[in-house]
Amino acid sequence: MKASSIFAALFAVALAAGLTACQPRDESMGPAQKAGQAVDNAGDKVARELHDKLDQANLAAQQALISAEQTRVKIAAATEDASKGLDKATEEVGKKVERAGEKIQESAKSK
């Protein structure tokens, strides 16, 4: 064989090998990769659901705090009203006792 024929044959083999190496690979995942992705997806789903439940619990806690604060304000207002009513009743009783004392003094003077 001539050197040019050998060179041409080697060049053709090298070219063919190079072209097959440059072919795109099959991008599908293997079984271990698929299992890993399934585990990752399941973990993400559980995390999302957990965060949703935590958000719901936090919202319920905030609503309970708001309700408790509203109740505290109502109790404070009712206590203040009751205190005012008690003060007024005490004042009225004081006036009646004072009148009764005056009547007793007048009765004592008359005798």
Q: For residue 29, give every residue at least 6 positions away whose Cβ sits within 8 Å of its Cβ, in sequence order, or none.
A: 37
Return the pLDDT at 5: 74
pLDDT tens digits, residue range 37-94? 999 999 999 999 999 999 999 999 999 999 999 999 999 999 999 998 988 999 999 9
CA distance 35 to 97: 91
pLDDT band at 27 (very low <50, low <70, confident <90, very high): low
Q: What CA–CA distance (Å, rounded) separates 106 from 98? A: 12
Is the per-residue pLDDT at 24 higher than 70? Answer: no
Residue 11, both tokens: 């060049």
Handedness of CA 51, 55, 56, 58 (dihedral sign): positive
27: DSSP letter? -
